[in-house]
Each structure stands twice: as C-alpha cells, then as structure tokens.
Chains A and B, each alone.
Chain A
C-alpha cells in the first residue's frame, strides 16, 4: 500500500510542478472529508494542491428552516422523532434534538426501517422520520414510504431533507466558487446515480471528475489522476472505485427514488436557493409528508449571527478563517452545523488538525 501512496505522490508532485500554479480540488462527500482528515492525507500533499471540503455533509447543507421544523416537531407531545445520529446535536434557533431528548421522544435510528418499526410499535404517536442525506440515503426513505403505503400505516411521516449532488456542483461552478479546478466525486452517491452522471460536469464546465473510494490510498490515487489530467490539459471523467460503482448506477434505487420523490427547488445553507435540488414526496405519497401534515415550510429560516458555515461549505473560506472557529464555536458548544456533524468541515478540522 505504501508503494501505491509513493507512486501517487510522485505523480501529484510532478503534475503540480508542471501546471505551475495553485490547484484547487473540491471533494463533495462527507465521508471523503473525514477519511482525508483521519488519514492525514493533506500532510502528504504539496503546498500547491489545495483540497477543499465542499457541501458534502448533508446535515451541513440543510437550511435553518428545515432544522427549525425538526425542533418544532420534537416539541410536540404527539410526535416521536426518529433520526440518524448525525442530526442530534445540530443547533436550531433554540436548542437541539439533544437538549430535547430528555423528553423521551427522540430516537436515534440506524435505518429508515427502524423508523417505520417505531411507527408500528407506537400507534398512538405520530412518528416523523428526519430524512436527510443525498442520493445515497433517499432510496432507503423511499422503500419505507412504499412499505407504509402497502401496510396502510397512518402514523408514519417523512420530513424530507434529501438533497441532490449535481445541482449543488453546478451552482458551485456557476457562481459561488468557480475557482474549483476539479472534483473528487462522491463514492456512495455514485453507487446510486452511476459515475456517468458526472459527465455533464466535464462536458459543460471542463473540470476533471474522478470518483474515488474511501480508503486513503484510493483517495490519493484519485488525486493523482486529477493532477495528471490537469497537467495534460484534458479533463476527463473516471471512476477509480471500479469494484463497486458502475456507469449507470443502481437502477432499482433510481427507480424507487423517482417513484416516490420529485426534485423541487430547495434552500441550501451557503448556496441559497437551487432549482430542482431537493426531493419532495410525490402527490400519491403526500399523506406521508410531514411538511404537509404539520403545516411546516422548508425555507432559509433565521440566520445565525456570525456563523460563516455557508462560506465554509462552498470552499470560499477555510474553517480557520471563520472568527468563531475554535473560540466561540467548538464541538462542545457548536454554533453552526459544520461544527456538529462528525463530517462537518469545521468538526473534522477541529478534531483532526487545527493546523493547516
């Protein structure tokens, strides 16, 4: 493995020298962010190669309006909240799910199936599943919505915060941060949508797109491939996660997403409103939609004063450039979600490497 790392580093070094200027690569997958930090990859890269963490953490890009909707539901006596662990400490305008957990109506689940089971086990409560995540987790939500429909379950609801990666990448390149030279593409999202989905980024924006696995050596090799392409001046689409990702992706998963959801305009923290970027339940499944059932709206919500999560997400600033980072905003007392989610950029920086 160390041979592979050495070879990849040599390729990166040569390519960087050849390109002759700063190269900015953005990764858009929360798991890549953590893997990169955990393995100390940045310490192995040349100064010239800047690796940015983009909006890959689904909890981080979730707008304040959605988070406040979650808190509102958690405050209701007739609701049981089922959520992935990621959401527990995210701060709303007034406390988090963690501070509300003492009331006993917040349950951490590992799977959407657990959330549905909660509904079966608690017929007197409305169970609301906090459905966040990109295309990787959306199919899991769709499956249980269909199961609930088939079983005639009436106390199960989904608060859909599912987001789509490609619209975000386009928004980033279209205005927010067009200094990005290339993308390290998300592995698990690619499993679902197929690596071929990123072809449009290469075609429309001329940026190399390389899909990488999560092992550090796979990430370093993907960076080497990106650098090689940039040095050659020929942006391409490549998947280096061959054992697991196919060009077309998981068709069954795509079908079930399409059956249950439709893309609608949505608010993203830091990126603002992006057209057709968020998944909402289709008409025939609207009875499971928590927004509808409880009269809530997802929207930009109230800004958190001083918080620069949005700019961190877009790669416009590093966490260290946010005045609140590590002083007022720490994992113990987070101000914005970037510090809370274990894959939030600020959290990863704080946990694994304060120094650049």
Chain B
C-alpha cells in the first residue's frame, strides 16, 4: 500500500537520490522537489520524492516503528 514512510536523503546527485528509512535504502528521484538537499527528509512514492517532511513528524513515525523493538521490557506473562 503506498504508505510512504518518511526517508532521509543520504546521497544526492542532481535529481538522483538514495533515501534511508530505518536502515533500508532505496533509490528515488527528486525531480519533483528541486529545492531538496542532502539530509532532508522526504516522502517517497512510486520512486519519486513528492514532499518534504518536517523532522519532528518524521521522528514520530520512526519512533512508532522503533517502539516495537522494546520486547524485553514488556510484561509478557500469562499470569501478569
């Protein structure tokens, strides 16, 4: 489903970028966001960055993902 996760631009050569989301890296084109620069966070859809994403907002989405990693600390007992 085209749930584009915010991804950070980690490589940029004209309009050819590599973006990173939670350690996964994809190629994306930034043709539709000519003002974008290295380090910016973007929403990628169908291989194209279509919007800039606010750092705060991106962090919130990424946190939602990372929060699942906290297995050890959760009470996961039948009796609990």
> Given A113-B29, A215-B61, A136–B45 Cβ distance below 8 Å?
yes
Interface 1/0 per residue, B15-45 and A, CB below 8 Å? 0000000000000010111100000000101
Name the contact of B32 in the complex, choosing from A244, A256, A342, A343 (C-beta under 8 A).
A256
CA distance A133 to B45 in the complex (A): 11
- Confirm or deny: B66 has a beta carbon within 8 angstroms of a beta carbon on chain A: no
Is A191 within 8 A of B51, CB to CB?
yes
Interface 1/0 per residue, A139-155 and B, CB below 8 Å? 11001000000000000
> For residue A243, which residues in chain B have a CB less than 8 angstroms away from its CB?
53-54, 56-57
> Given A133-B46, A188-B45, A143–B32 Cβ distance below 8 Å?
yes
Name the contact of A244 in the complex, choosing from B2, B31, B43, B64 (C-beta under 8 A).
B43
Determine which residue in B33, B50, B52, B64 has the highest number of CB atoms from chain A within 10 A of its CB, and name it: B50
Is B50 within 8 A of A112, CB to CB?
no
> For residue B54, which residues in chain A have a CB less than 8 angstroms away from its CB?
243-244
- Confirm or deny: A183 has a beta carbon within 8 angstroms of a beta carbon on chain B: no
CA distance A252 to B47 in the complex (A): 16
Is B46 within 8 A of A143, CB to CB?
no
Interface size on A, residues (CB 8 A): 31
> For residue A1, which residues in chain B have a CB less than 8 angstroms away from its CB?
64
Determine which residue in A111, A143, A243 has the highest number of CB atoms from chain B within 10 A of its CB, and name it: A243
- Confirm or deny: A34 has a beta carbon within 8 angstroms of a beta carbon on chain B: yes
- Confirm or deny: B3 has a beta carbon within 8 angstroms of a beta carbon on chain A: yes
Is A244 within 8 A of B53, CB to CB?
yes
Name the contact of A111 in the complex, choosing from B48, B50, B51, B52 (C-beta under 8 A).
B48
CA distance A84 to B45 in the complex (A): 12
> For residue B2, which residues in chain A have a CB less than 8 angstroms away from its CB?
30-31, 136, 188
> For residue A192, which residues in chain B have a CB less than 8 angstroms away from its CB?
50
> For residue A252, which residues in chain B have a CB less than 8 angstroms away from its CB?
31-34
Question: 8 A-B contacts, Cβ less than 8 Å apart?
Answer: A112-B47, A136-B45, A188-B2, A191-B43, A243-B56, A243-B57, A244-B52, A250-B33
